[in-house]
Structure formats: structure tokens, C-alpha cells
């Protein structure tokens, strides 16, 4: 892989794309528990919302095969349109691409079910089109450990950056003095993040 200078994610250059977190697909996930996956996706969405990132949610065949987006995620993102599409690769859908391109953001954070298809395909396509793509692996899930390992390898070979959801959001936050810091750490909903949020509130930040 070609070495590149580190260019951090920021509030100004990043957007979040959530792909196929659907009720039917959730039932087949085996590499992470359904409860943990739901927790992580909702936390990612809430933190991105606190950071005022553009957020895109898309489903495939929700009225026939895979069902709707799981309710907890819908509740976390009131007013966000969910784009349904027939294409397997979300980046083959003109509506999705048009919405993302309209923001001008060049760094796209993906999460999806399944990891090796719904997250990997659009992330790899974004890289091929000259964008930087990141995948929050713990806000994604798939149907076996083999699929998870193969998907991670393929993405890294294609130049996709893999990380976890909390690290990506904290990278964007950057400065704990920002007024959004308490909301971001609270949204992450992890023991260390909750403690930071409580400390920040106590200090009046």
C-alpha cells in the first residue's frame, strides 16, 4: 500500500454513510451480537449528529427482502431521509451519489451490513473515484468470521481505512474544549466516554 501523509477527519471534510442496517439483515449477523451492533451504530449516528456531519442512510429492497432500518437508528436520526435502492453497491445508486456529492465532502465514513458487501463495496468505489473512505468496523456486521476477515483484507488492499466508530468521532472532535465535546462523548455511550462527558458537564464545558 502506498504511504500517504496523514490528513485528519474534520467537521468540514467528513460525512457519514450508513448502509443497510435493516431488520432482516440484522438477524443473520454472527461476528458481533445484535445488541452490541445496534448500540454501536446508534452511538455513531448520534455522535455524528452532535458534530453536525452530513448523514446519509440507505437501504436495499426494504419492502421485499431485508425489511426496514432498525427502529433505534431511525429514532436517533429524526428527519433524515432513508434512500431505498435496487443496487447492491450503494455507490451505484445515483440518488445516494448525488446527495453525497452535493456536500462536497471528500472523506466518507461508511458502516453497513454486511461488512464485506454493504460497507466494503461503496467504500472501495469511493476510493476508486478519488475520495478517502473509512469503515467503522464495529458499526458493521456480517455473517461469519471468514467473511469479516476477507472483507477487511479486501478493503485494506483497496486503500480503505478501517477503524472503530468512537476513534473516528473523537478524531473529528479534535479539541475537548469544543462546545460539542460533552454531547459527542455522551453520544458515544461507552464507559470512558460517559465519564469524560460527566467531567465536562461538572466543569461547565
Which residues are the active-site residues?
118
The grid coordinates of residue 50 equal 452532535
Vertex 48: Cα angle to 162 and 161 (nearest 5): 10
Indicate the angle between helix axes 181-188 and 165-173, nearest 10 degrees.
180
Beta bridge partners of 85: 60
Cα(62)–Cα(170) distance, integer angstroms: 32
φ, ψ (nearest 5 deg) of residue 76 = -75, -20
Q: In the Cβ-directed half-sphere of 67, how many Cα atoms lie within 13 Å? A: 12
Amino acid at each position: 500500500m502506498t504511504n500517504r501523509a496523514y490528513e485528519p477527519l474534520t467537521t468540514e471534510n467528513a460525512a457519514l454513510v450508513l448502509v443497510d442496517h435493516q431488520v432482516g439483515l440484522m438477524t443473520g449477523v454472527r461476528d458481533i451480537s445484535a445488541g452490541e451492533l445496534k448500540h454501536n451504530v446508534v452511538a455513531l449516528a448520534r455522535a455524528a449528529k452532535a458534530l453536525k456531519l452530513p448523514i446519509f442512510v440507505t437501504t436495499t429492497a426494504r419492502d421485499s427482502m431485508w425489511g426496514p432500518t432498525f427502529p433505534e437508528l431511525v429514532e436517533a436520526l429524526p428527519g433524515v431521509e432513508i434512500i431505498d435502492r435496487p443496487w447492491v453497491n450503494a455507490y451505484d445508486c445515483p440518488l445516494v451519489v448525488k446527495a453525497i456529492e452535493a456536500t462536497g465532502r471528500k472523506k466518507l465514513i461508511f458502516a453497513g451490513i454486511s461488512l464485506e458487501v454493504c460497507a466494503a463495496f461503496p467504500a472501495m468505489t469511493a476510493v476508486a473515484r478519488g475520495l478517502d473512505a473509512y469503515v467503522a468496523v464495529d458499526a458493521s456486521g456480517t455473517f461469519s468470521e471468514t467473511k469479516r476477515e476477507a472483507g477487511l483484507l479486501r478493503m485494506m488492499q483497496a486503500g480503505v481505512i478501517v477503524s472503530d466508530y468512537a476513534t473516528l468521532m473523537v478524531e473529528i472532535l479534535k479539541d475537548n474544549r469544543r462546545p460539542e465535546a460533552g454531547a459527542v462523548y455522551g453520544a458515544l455511550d461507552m464507559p470512558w466516554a460517559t465519564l469524560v462527558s460527566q467531567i465536562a458537564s461538572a466543569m461547565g464545558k
